[in-house]
Amino acid sequence: AMVVMLPLLRIGVQAIGVAYLLWLAFKLSHSSSLAQASKSQLNISFWQGVTLQFLNIKAWMLALTVVAGWLAGHADAAARFAIILPLMLAFGLVSNLIYALIGSLLRDWLSGPDNSGTRLRWFNRCMATVLVLTAVWMTTF
């Protein structure tokens, strides 16, 4: 029974993921304004920011991959950990800074001198197309 359930579970999770991406693409393709965060939403403490990182699924997947592939089962796991920890900290810092910089520059560009919102609408449509292509790609495996 378990052998039959796993393909059904995979198909179910895949279908939900594809439906969610298509819904996001639809919403994005019809969006023509930049979201504005209120000052109260931006006022978070250092510890709230640290706690938020524990909800980042991409970080968990990266950590699990590194542990499973490079640390677990190796006799020199402590030495490997001493190597990988500063590398992962540097990677996290640099990638978050680059992400924030690109986001800031992109927001400025999208809300720039084009007051009609044409630039933003085309950007959103391009991003929606990427989501649709990702959803289509997900159905191939």
Note the pLDDT tens digit of each residue in 39-63: 776 788 889 888 887 888 888 888 8
SS3 at position 94: helix
Whether 109 has a pLDDT exceeding 70, the answer reads yes
Element (H, E) at 118: helix 118-138
Alpha-carbon span 141 to 10, nearest angstrom: 10
Confidence label for 77 from pLDDT (cuts 50, 70 and 90) = very high
Neighbours of 135 (CB within 10 A): 19
The overall average pLDDT reported for the chain is 87
What pLDDT sits at residue 1?
Answer: 52
**Considering the entire predicted model, what is its pTM?**
0.63
pLDDT, average across residues 54-82: 90
pLDDT, average across residues 105-119: 81
Residues contacting 44, CB < 8 A, separation 6+: 52
Nearest residue to 121 (alpha-carbon basis) of 26, 30, 36, 35: 30
Residues contacting 1, CB < 8 A, separation 6+: none
Ramachandran sector of residue 73 (left: φ over 0; alpha: ψ -120 to 50; beta: rest): left
